[in-house]
Amino acid sequence: MSHVLVITSSLRERSNSDRLAEELARGASDAGHLVETVSLKGRTIGFCKGCLACQKSMRCVIRDDAAELVEKVKEADTVVFATPVYYYGMSGQLKTLLDRLNPLYPSDYRFRHIYLLSVAAEEDSFVPEKTVACLKGWVDCFEKAELTDSLFCGGIGDAGEAGKHPDRLEEAYEFGRRLR
């Protein structure tokens, strides 16, 4: 049994990525994993200053909600990032969090498997490519971890629309069951 941390990054009410992440988490839980879901909604996460003090102290100099998330990511075996796709990239709040996870780099982090769940109104297969590439760039900095898999759910745009796509909800559930 792995400790799976699901981080959702949409700030929209009735978020489609949140709804699909719920199904993913349910699938992971049904597969026997211990699952914790954390939303970036309502959290204060400032921009990285690039001072790199965290590389020595393993703590960021900025005092906000990112410190708690750094610890949660550090202690998880598996991390799933869920994001809407904005202009062919991940949400700004997720990118800001990834930058603020910099204190993990020199630490003895547990995570080995990273997954991505992305959602967009557009359905074309190229839509998630830059989102996946950006996350892969982050993962590549952690030699003990890998971007294990990603799931793209296209064709879902309006708030709450994911609930009208039982096929996508099932796909997210099954994706969650396959997490390592």
Helix axes 66-75, 92-100, angle to 10 degrees: 70
* Per-residue three-class SS string for the chain: CCEEEEEECCCCCCCHHHHHHHHHHHHHHHCCCEEEEEECCCCCCCCCCCCCCHHHHCCCCCCCCHHHHHHHHHHCCEEEEEEECECCECCHHHHHHHHHCHHHCCCCCCCCEEEEEEEECCCCCCCCHHHHHHHHHHHCCCCCCEEEEEEEEECCCCCCHHHHCHHHHHHHHHHHHCCC
Dump pLDDT digits (tens) for 130-161.
Answer: 999 999 999 999 999 999 999 999 999 999 99
Residue 2, pLDDT > 90, answer yes
Hey, what domains does the chain have and what are their CATH numbers?
A: 3-177 (3.40.50.360)
Dump pLDDT digits (tens) for 14-73.
Answer: 999 999 999 999 999 999 999 999 999 999 999 999 999 999 999 999 999 999 999 999
Residue 1, pLDDT > 90, answer no
Residue 7, pLDDT > 90, answer yes
Gap between the Cα atoms of 21 and 37, Å rounded = 8
Dump pLDDT digits (tens) for 80-124.
Answer: 999 999 999 999 999 999 999 999 999 999 999 999 999 999 999
In the block, which residue shows the tokens 């064709």?
155
Quote the pLDDT of residue 161: 95
